[in-house]
Structure 1
């Protein structure tokens, strides 16, 4: 049935959205009074919540004491170590995550306060989502489809709580010139990937980054520095994330052959695309596709 546009008096739509995230090594754990974890770094964000007992966490040489309900929101490459205080066992919940939503990453990287007490705005905003995830963290529930969907819902609720709280703090002043430039570069990279996928753009990745740097009036090295400072990854890494996301979406379309997809994404041949996809994901494009289409 054809809908006549002149009969539509009002319409509101959600924006199109494409985003990917990773949650890694989410667990709750009870440890002995003499437990400690050595100093280390990791490439992901981390939420660390104490459920009972007391934990001392040293983050970038600053000491924080976490009691029940207190949490830490750590960024990639934060140097941290922890140990139990008080002579009693301690229970905590820990979740590592990464996300390619660029505005969310900017909020996370602007956040300089890693400690949030139990009564803080951030703790109150995300504790319901964390409680749902804690309840779902078991071998029995993880294999059930409905439980996995509930976990995904709770993870998005967690992200919404973090971004909403950090966004309110961040909304007091105008964005810096560095942030504006980095955001413009991100938008141009997204446009370049979309145009490559629909066949209206050709060119190698580094050529694209160099041309964008020229367009915004900075050297490639300056763009790399600013982009990494704002978003925590280089323009090249971000473009790879965009290409991976686009690859997965195209592979889920059964009407397209893998050869057609590799051509759309600007690869010279299917072998090059297959090697790159396997480098990104650890599996071939055909194996990824087989999980959705048999």
Structure 2
């Protein structure tokens, strides 16, 4: 149960996440999209997608969620069709999802019957062996019904269900993830090769997918973003060159100065006073 004003900061993880809104409502920011869940809604978030959550209404928000991964390539492909998939209450009622959640709650309540005043449920590691199996079984049944609903919804709406049959969706999704990782790495020694390795792509695959969506190479994008941030720091701060270089992931102030001159034809010191004078 989360009170009004509750917020979980932006994060990501290597697992898929499945959320069910039990009571109230919650606002999610997933990549750049705003998604509001109401009572009875379900949300599947793809692994690696950055997201944050907030209870912006005036009532408590309660939820069920599970983080999971599966080894089956076909199932992972279906789970990975989009950064997130929202299943509204009306659609979810055609399944047994609510029943399975009730069974999960019954297992947890049975294990927390003693002492009755216990405020927190037992962690899974302390459950009886047979109840651990029940939890895993009901969790898999929940995932089964969610996948079935997503498959039916995709068929009914004319959407394709295999990522290799919808390359534009897959390409855009991967390109956005590359862009996000590059942006987050501006203050570090971010490299295209490092991002490609992190995403299990070759460097050429990474560049090809990114260029198809953004119209420039990842290296060009990284240079533009660093130049933009460098100009901002030079104009709006009085930081020494060594600090600016460090913030931009350069090994030294001289390295930063040489790169800035390649970008603009000026040294940072030549750029800074002129622009300070025009903005004062």
Per the normalisation by structure 1, the TM-score is 0.46
Q: Which has the larger radius of gyration?
A: 2
Per the normalisation by structure 2, the TM-score is 0.48
Larger RCO (CA under 8 A, 6+ residues apart):
1
